[in-house]
Amino acid sequence: MSKLRSDSDEEAQVFETAIINQPPRWQDTLADSSPFVMGAVATTLLTVSFGMLNLRDVTLQAPVFVADLCFAAGAGLIISAQWEMLKGNTFSYTVLMAFGFFYSGYGYVTIPSTGIADFYGGFATPSFNNALGSYVLIWACFNLFFLLCTTRMYVLDLQKHPVPFALSYIDKSLRNITYVGIFSFVELCLIFDAASYFASAEGKIELGTNFMKASGGFAFAASILCYYTVLHYLCEDALPFRVPLGDLTKYKYAHKRTA
């Protein structure tokens, strides 16, 4: 890390050259898990958003959501995280493992046969709503670190180093507007979801319903951005037009050079 933040332009140039000229690693031959990951997250968020918005009288506690929560976005993300670990992508590994277990845990809670809801007296009791609201709110705090990390990587101190060597240790696929938007919408989704449970626990059913619908709206927006990334990863080469993710690093460096 000390080399990444060096004050010497010569050392910076040497470090960048070493990264560019390093021999290919066997990890680089592994398949990219990003298309599946984003597709699984998009499908899960879109499905869950329908329950939050109460479309066709479907509620969020519908057992059918367990398929997406526990398997597609749960086990799927946990397995995909191992690819990122082998590639040395610490941030991507952390995000996938965290959300994989979050979705699995959230889905497990909604399974009636587990008896978790019955322990609190049912899904509609204040104690259950308070407990689930706290669970979601704490995960919103965890997601905030991911959001800050994706935005922080664009404002690193590059006063003396206008070249992107200082960002070489960060996963390039996350340095764009699309991923910042996804983490932002997920953060708002979790916050309003927690607020919905807390409002319901206090007997404010109508307010809780409105908060839940707002959460569903943000989940829907996040799912659309996730599907957009799938389009970028899988279909861009087959389309007659580009599907840009909104690279922020290029803007940062261009701005620095013209300043």
CA angle 35, 86, 84 (to 5 degrees): 30
pLDDT per residue, tens digit, the chain (259 aa), is 434 444 445 554 554 555 455 666 656 667 788 899 999 999 999 999 999 998 888 887 777 889 999 999 999 999 999 999 998 889 999 999 999 999 999 999 988 889 999 999 999 999 999 999 999 999 999 999 999 888 765 444 444 444 343 343 445 556 689 999 999 999 999 999 999 999 999 999 999 999 999 999 999 999 999 999 999 988 877 888 888 888 776 654 444 444 4
Model pLDDT, residue 238: 82
Domain map of the chain by residue range?
32-258
Tokens 């799927």 belong to residue: 76
The reported pTM is 0.80
> How far is it, in rounded angstroms, from Cα 120 to Cα 130?
10
DSSP codes joined into one string, 99-110: HHHHHHHHHHHT
Cβ atoms of 153 and 174 closer than 8 Å: yes
Can you give the pLDDT at residue 10? 56
Task: Please state, in angstroms and rounded to a whole number, the distance separating the CA atoms of residues 48 and 99.
Answer: 15
